[in-house]
């Protein structure tokens, strides 16, 4: 197994963790809050971003303007049923989401959620490490690489793992600061 493949897979785990962090609201309006919302559009689950223009006119409002006015009620229903905890207000042409200021209890919950996402990212990175080390051991067993080469490869894989786990910790620290800052 090549180290570049291992690093690429670990980078994907970081990107996935970052996308998860983006879905956590921080008290400021952010279009990424709606990334995971799926709308049942003509019988097919469709991402909200492909059905509507999403903008943030100010720091406490998200404005959703569907391309097809007929889908306005479907979009509103999908947002209401989602886990983002916001109530949409429909004025007939656009949907507004007012982002209320976060309470300290809610901030603590969001920090826990961010920590959960970070742990999932770390598990993903460690899983890549485990698969890579298993592949190296298999190569060593089949005499494709020497014992020293195998040890060097495993050390390199561990260094990559440490690097990416610390990146996730850094991202988590930034997100916690973002959540707890008023």
Averaged over successive runs of 10 residues, the pLDDT of the chain (182 residues) comes to 87 91 76 82 86 86 87 87 82 86 84 93 95 92 90 93 95 89 72
Closest CA to 94 of 42, 54, 41: 54
Length of the chain in terms of residues written: 182
H or E segment and range at residue 46: strand 44-47
Given a contact cutoff of 8 angstroms between Cβ atoms, the answer to whether 61 and 98 are in contact is yes
* Calpha distance 162→101 (Å, rounded): 36
* CATH classification number, 28-98, choose in 3.10.180.10, 3.30.1360.40, 3.40.220.10, 2.60.120.960: 3.30.1360.40
Kindly report the backbone phi and psi dihedral angles of residue 42, in degrees, each rounded to the nearest multiple of 5, phi listed first. Answer: 50, 45
Fold of 3-21+103-180: Topoisomerase I; Chain A, domain 4 (1.10.132)
Domain boundaries, the chain: 3-21+103-180, 28-98
């Amino acid at each position: 197994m090549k180290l570049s493949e291992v690093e690429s897979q670990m980078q994907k785990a970081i990107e996935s963790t970052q996308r998860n962090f983006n879905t956590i609201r921080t008290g400021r309006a952010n279009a990424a809050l709606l990334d995971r919302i799926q709308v049942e559009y003509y019988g097919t689950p469709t991402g909200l971003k492909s059905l509507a223009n999403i903008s943030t006119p100010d720091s406490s409002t998200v404005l959703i303007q569907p391309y097809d006015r007929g889908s306005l009620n479907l979009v509103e229903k999908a947002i209401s049923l989602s886990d983002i905890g916001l109530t949409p207000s429909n004025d007939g042409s656009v949907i507004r989401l007012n982002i209320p200021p976060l309470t300290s209890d809610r901030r603590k919950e969001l920090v826990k959620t961010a920590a959960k996402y970070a742990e999932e990212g770390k598990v993903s990175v460690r899983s890549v490490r485990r698969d890579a080390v298993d592949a190296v051991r298999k190569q060593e067993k089949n005499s494709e690489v020497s014992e020293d080469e195998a040890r060097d490869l495993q050390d390199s894989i561990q260094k990559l793992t440490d690097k990416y786990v610390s990146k996730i910790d850094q991202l988590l620290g930034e997100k916690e600061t973002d959540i707890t800052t008023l």
